[in-house]
Amino acid sequence: MRTYGQYCPVAAAAEMLGDRWTLLIVRDLITGAHRFNEIERGMHGISRTILSDRLRLLERYGLIERRRVGAGHHEYWLTPVGADLEPAVLSLGNWAARHFGKEPSPRELDASRLMLWIERFVRRAELPPGRWVARFEFTGPRRERRWLLVEDGNPTACETDPGPEPALVVRTDLNTLHQVFGGRLALRAALRDGSLEIEGRKESLRMFPRWFGLSPFADAMKDSVRATA
């Protein structure tokens, strides 16, 4: 175990969380990822070996626990000590959003990862009932499609067409949706200027702004935009 050799709480925290990917794994556990594959989906570029190592280390520190669910399956959950990190992680993200908030760079634009975040932060209480699909059509920089399947109030981001005719189609470029989700651009403004378009059933159009959630750092990002305007 790498140590700084300092009797300091900040040093102790850095020893536990300072390795690459570790803080992002904690972030995703806080935001609802529990299965190994769910965590891996939010870690573009991580190897399964490194992810396994980081999870074992967090378990050794007592920040997470592994729970058996069914035959041969496990989930990873924050312990009370790990859950106590949530305010610190959110504060760190808000600090970065306020002072270093920027437009996403081309290499940061990723449709699958964005849809995963949208899935996690949907306002579930506002979702229309039943089984239905929203299709997201990205016009640039690459033309791609992704889907959000909702079944009994549970959203799932899909990379392949789940089947039902979409109740709602969202058409925009990937940069715009990143900025809307992240708080740099208001959804209403994007709809008004046509950079984001929606079509579908009347009720679906009405409900979309209600259930489409934003990043937990969106308010801090809005502050950053206002400060530089």
In a structure prediction context, what are the per-residue pLDDT tens digits for the chain, which is 229 residues long? 678 899 999 999 999 999 999 999 999 999 999 999 999 998 988 999 999 999 999 999 999 999 999 887 899 999 999 999 999 999 999 999 999 988 889 889 999 999 999 999 999 999 999 999 999 999 977 899 999 999 999 999 999 999 889 999 999 999 999 999 999 999 999 999 999 999 999 999 999 999 999 999 999 999 888 887 6
* Closest listed residue to residue 203, CA positions, set 152, 159, 158, 168: 168
Topology of the domain comprising 106-222: Nonspecific Lipid-transfer Protein; Chain A (3.30.1050)
Is CATH 3.30.420.40 correct for 9-84?
Answer: no
Q: Name every residue whose Cβ is closer than 8 Å to that of residue 169 and which is 6 or more positions away in sequence.
A: 134, 135, 136, 137, 198, 199, 200
Write down the number of H helices and E strands in the chain: 11, 7
Q: Has this prediction a pTM greater than 0.95?
A: no
Two tokens, residue 6 = 């300092």
Two tokens, residue 3 = 């140590």
Half-sphere exposure of 103 (CA within 13 A, CB side): 8
Domain with CATH 3.30.1050.10 in the chain: 106-222
What is the C-alpha to C-alpha distance for residues 174 and 136, in angstroms, rounded to an integer? Answer: 10
Domain with CATH 1.10.10.10 in the chain: 9-84
Q: What does the pLDDT read at residue 33? A: 95
Name the β-bridge partners of 135. 147, 169
